[in-house]
């Protein structure tokens, strides 16, 4: 199954994607995680991407396309993938549709996680990342285990000003993809992402089983 998790930054795509990936045995392809890995590793790709990421802007489509193409060719993605944070605009959606068609696949479903803007800004303020594993926690809703907490950090692009820009970019470029997939006849499941993690996960699994 090829599945897209759509939603604003901070809507819970990463958290839900990780749980779904475990449940369904399908890898999560999260372009944001891949870019952060590249930045940490100091690769040429990471060097190119960092400025855009720190400003909350989208990294150029060509960079993302090459990265996803390579990742999709890995054996673990042979039967499907859960896309998190990708596609982010109409051009990326078109190239993903084409890439999947080339291997006899298509997007089977879109899960659209809806969360209020105010909630998002609040969530992002409490978000902490473990730099060693890339796992994301929240000081209130999903605190890191005591032994991990001391090394957790705030992502540089989670500061409020950058979050606001990321929300603008999301509204302008990414939110219209809901309509793109609806028009393409792909089932789009809208889920209230403002609820506890387990409730959201339960609903998504129920929807996908139908
Ligand atoms: P995320 O972790 O998905 O919120 O992504 C963090 C940042 O990485 C974004 O604000 C963008 O700068 C960049 N990024 C991640 N995925 C994409 C994508 N599909 N297209 C363009 N830029 C991306």
* Strand partners of residue 153: 129
Residue 135 lies in a domain: no
Give the per-residue pLDDT at 96. Answer: 98
Query: Is 155 annotated in the active site?
Result: yes
Residue 160 lies in a domain: no
Residue 88 CB–ligand 1 contact under 6 Å: yes
Report angle CA 120, 95, 14 to the nearest 5 degrees. Answer: 30
Containing domain of residue 92, as a range?
2-116+173-209
Ligand 1 centroid–CA 31 distance in Å is 6
Residue 90 lies in a domain: yes
For tokens 């060693």, the residue is: 132
Q: Give, using CA atoms, the residue closest to atom 8 of ligand 1.
A: 32
Give the per-residue pLDDT at 161. Answer: 87
Give the per-residue pLDDT at 123. Answer: 87
Ligand 1 centroid–CA 172 distance in Å is 14
Give the per-residue pLDDT at 117. Answer: 86
pTM: 0.92
Which parts of the chain sit beneath pLDDT 50?
A: none
Residue 33 lies in a domain: yes
Contact 180, 110 (CB under 8 A): no
Give the per-residue pLDDT at 129. Answer: 92
Domains in the chain, number? 1
Rounded Cα gap, residues 19 and 97, in angstroms: 25
The enclosing domain of 36 has a CATH number of 3.40.50.300
Count of beta carbons in the 10 Å neighbourhood of residue 203: 17
Contact 82, 24 (CB under 8 A): yes
Ligand 1 centroid–CA 110 distance in Å is 18
Strand order in the sheet with 2-7: 28-30, 81-84, 2-7, 109-114, 188-192
Residue 186 lies in a domain: yes
Residue 195 lies in a domain: yes
What are 118-155's pLDDT values in tens digits?
A: 888 888 889 999 988 888 899 988 899 999 999 999 98
Q: Which of 28, 36, 127, 128 is catalytic?
A: 127
Helix, strand, coil percentages (3-state) for the chain, rounded to 5, are: 55, 15, 30
Residue 166 CB–ligand 1 contact under 6 Å: yes
Give the list of residues 6+ apart from residue 41 with CB closer than 8 angstroms, or none.
Answer: none
């Amino acid at each position: 199954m090829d599945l897209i998790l759509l939603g604003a930054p901070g809507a819970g795509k990463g958290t839900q994607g990780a749980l779904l990936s475990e449940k369904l045995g399908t890898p999560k392809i999260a372009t944001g995680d891949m870019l952060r890995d590249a930045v940490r590793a100091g690769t040429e790709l990471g060097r190119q991407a960092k400025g855009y990421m720190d400003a909350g802007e989208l990294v150029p489509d060509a960079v993302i396309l090459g990265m996803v193409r390579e990742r999709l060719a890995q054996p673990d993605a042979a039967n499907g993938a859960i896309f998190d944070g990708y596609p982010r605009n109409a051009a990326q959606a078109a190239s993903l549709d084409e890439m999947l068609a080339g291997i006899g696949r298509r997007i089977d479903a879109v899960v659209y996680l809806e969360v209020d803007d105010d909630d998002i800004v609040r969530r992002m303020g409490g978000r902490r990342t473990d730099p060693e594993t890339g796992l994301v926690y929240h000081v209130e809703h999903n605190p890191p285990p005591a032994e991990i907490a001391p090394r957790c950090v705030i992502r540089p692009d989670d500061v409020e000003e950058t979050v606001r820009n990321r929300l603008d970019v999301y509204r302008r470029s990414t939110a219209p993809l809901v309509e793109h997939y609806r028009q393409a006849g792909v089932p789009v499941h809208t889920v209230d992402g403002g609820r506890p993690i387990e409730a959201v996960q339960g609903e998504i699994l129920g929807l996908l089983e139908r």
